[in-house]
Amino acid sequence: MKRRIDAEWMVGAALVVLILLGGRVLSSGAAVVGRQVRAHALLLALLVALPALPLSASEPRELEPNTLVPAGLMRYAPSEFPDRIVAVPLQEASTGFSATWRTDAQVQSPMLEIAVANDSPDQWEGDVPPRRIDAATVALEAGNGVAHHHRAIVDGLQPGTLYAWRVQGNGTWSPWRQLRTAAPAGTPLEFVYFGDTQNKNASLTTRVVHQAVRHAPNANLVLFAGDLVSEAVYDDEWGEWFDATAPLATMAFAPALGNHEYWEEFEDTPQERRVLGDQWKVNFALPPNGAKGFESTTYWFDYQGIRFAVLDGTAALDLDAGPVQAAWLDGVLAGNQNRWSIVLIHQPFYSPRDGRDNRELRKYLQPVIEKHRVDLVLQGHDHTYGRRGGDAGSTVPQYVVSVAGPKQYRVSARARRTMSPVGEDTQLFQVLRLDGNRLSYEARTVTGRLYDAFSLVDEGDAGKRLEEHPEGRIPERDCTRAATLGGRADRCWE
């Protein structure tokens, strides 16, 4: 309203000046005509520019919708062309990966082609054609119509080798992609970790992904700490998530799921319960080695000297799956022959957000993590940044919470006392590098500025040593808004 009033006042004032100048032109003769014409031109330019004047600081802003897709538009309808293509590492990531993709319902059991990547555009090696693998197909009806989702298991590959691969549609093929298998342990490794993406992926998560690729050009693996989308069953949100993560196409994806990959059945009734969304099950072909009863949401894999174990925090908190996951995790970590171990889970063991305390995680899962001295626990859920060591002040594990998407909460007073650094109102990505006996970690903002950095150094029998790297870090960021868009006092940005 204030912007409109200011603009109307300026228009009125400009018209008065124009009228007065017109009178002067008529009464003063030709000698002043040139100057008056120039003045008229300047004022007319001002009037034309008025619609572009910035909004008044006091004018309320409209909430941006969660997707960029206008209501009623079929932006992400499946077609004969393959899309939503993703690779997930096998249990032994040096020998292969699984691939999933989507087409329309005309396509049944298509193929995947793969060959050792060639410097020539011809992916045949001599007279040997690319290897062909048949895919399995399942149908899913979602908001953009019936789609067929396909998965193929690609095994028997050579470690540390760059492969070219593509997937089939209905008389069509995807572009050729390249993916490098995990190299033998001891080979330097670079990988990326994102906290929650969740909201406005196409609009605001995309730039985080692009910045991460700039800072991790050699990464072959990317971890997601859950809540990839906001609504588990909204197909447009999944379409935008795949668009936002498209720059990561040369990496294998290792996602944890969050509470938003579940949906509420019988919501607001005594029978309410969480149900895993079908989209999760068709979008990712995870290693089939998870905890009993939760094989679709927990898994582990070895990648270049690190054992990664992925947990389902929502099931542990809401579906009484803490004990079964703890027993499974104990076995996974007890059998670890690697020098390093990382746990990926959505909900934090130590929550930086006020009012949250995930006691069941600390009761069942944390004793296993501390017993096996896991190096890093990478988490999301709380839409802030925070890092701390274990209860006994030990070097490992280091517990990290981060957020990639635009939904931003506020840091609690308790977290400010027990975590360092912490951060609000900041989109982040993390780059990790393993080289010899050193695992290095850095968190950067969406503009590329360094926010947190440290290394874990393996000194053999003496254990792991923590090295902080404060040089180059920007100061901790706090939310300076009096109230978030939407009026939630516990949030900085909605």
Residue 425: the pLDDT is 96
Which percentage of the chain shows pLDDT scores above 90?
Answer: 79
Residue 63: the pLDDT is 80
368-396 b/e with 16+ CB inside 10 Å = b? bbbebebbbbbbbbbbbbbbbbbeeeebb
| pLDDT at residue 23 greater than cutoff 70 | no
Q: What angle in degrees, to the nearest 10, is found between the helix axes of 2-28 and 33-49?
A: 170
Phi and psi torsions of 450, nearest 5°: -75, 125
| pLDDT at residue 452 greater than cutoff 80 | yes
The tokens for 413 are: 């007073």
Determine the Cα–Cα distance for residues 236 and 242; give it in Å rounded to an integer.
10
Q: Which residue has the higher pLDDT, 457 or 489?
A: 457
CB 289 within 8 A of CB 255: no
| pLDDT at residue 355 greater than cutoff 60 | yes
| pLDDT at residue 37 greater than cutoff 50 | no
Identify the bridge partners of residue 116 per DSSP, sorted by sequence position. Answer: 163
Strands (E), 279-360: 299-303, 306-310, 340-344
Determine the Cα–Cα distance for residues 430 and 450; give it in Å rounded to an integer.
10
Range with the poorest average pLDDT among 104-108, 388-392, 403-407, 477-481 = 388-392
The tokens for 209 are: 């992904």
CA distances from 112 to 135, 249, 287, 366 (A): 7, 16, 18, 41
For 269, which DSSP code?
Answer: S
Question: How would DSSP label each residue in 123-181?
Answer: -SBTTBPPEEEEPEEEEEEETTEEEEEEEEEE-SPPTT-EEEEEEB-SS-BPPPEEEEP
SS3 label, residue 43: helix
Indicate the residue type of 11: V
Residue 134: the pLDDT is 98
Q: Which residue has the higher pLDDT, 188 or 50?
A: 188
Confidence of residue 60 (pLDDT cuts 50, 70, 90): low
Preceding amide of 397 cis, omega within 30: yes
CB 244 within 8 A of CB 254: no
Identify the bridge partners of residue 112 per DSSP, sorted by sequence position. Answer: 133, 167
Range with the poorest average pLDDT among 181-185, 335-339, 477-481 = 477-481
| pLDDT at residue 71 greater than cutoff 60 | yes
| pLDDT at residue 384 greater than cutoff 80 | yes
Determine the Cα–Cα distance for residues 65 and 71; give it in Å rounded to an integer.
10
Confidence of residue 420 (pLDDT cuts 50, 70, 90): very high
Q: Considering Cα of 414, then 408, then 308, then 217, what sign does the dihedral take?
A: negative
Residue 3: the pLDDT is 45
| 422-423 vs 252-256, strand pairing mode | unpaired
Residue 57: the pLDDT is 54
Q: Which residue has the higher pLDDT, 47 or 250?
A: 250
For 205, which DSSP code?
Answer: I
Preceding amide of 352 cis, omega within 30: no
| pLDDT at residue 450 greater than cutoff 80 | yes
| pLDDT at residue 365 greater than cutoff 80 | yes
Residue 54: the pLDDT is 54
CB 490 within 8 A of CB 354: yes
Residue 269: the pLDDT is 75
Confidence of residue 283 (pLDDT cuts 50, 70, 90): very high
| pLDDT at residue 11 greater than cutoff 50 | no
pLDDT digits (tens, 9 = 90+) for 137-165: 999 999 999 999 999 999 999 999 999 99
| pLDDT at residue 260 greater than cutoff 80 | yes
CA distances from 338 to 237, 254, 288, 308, 327 (A): 37, 18, 20, 10, 20
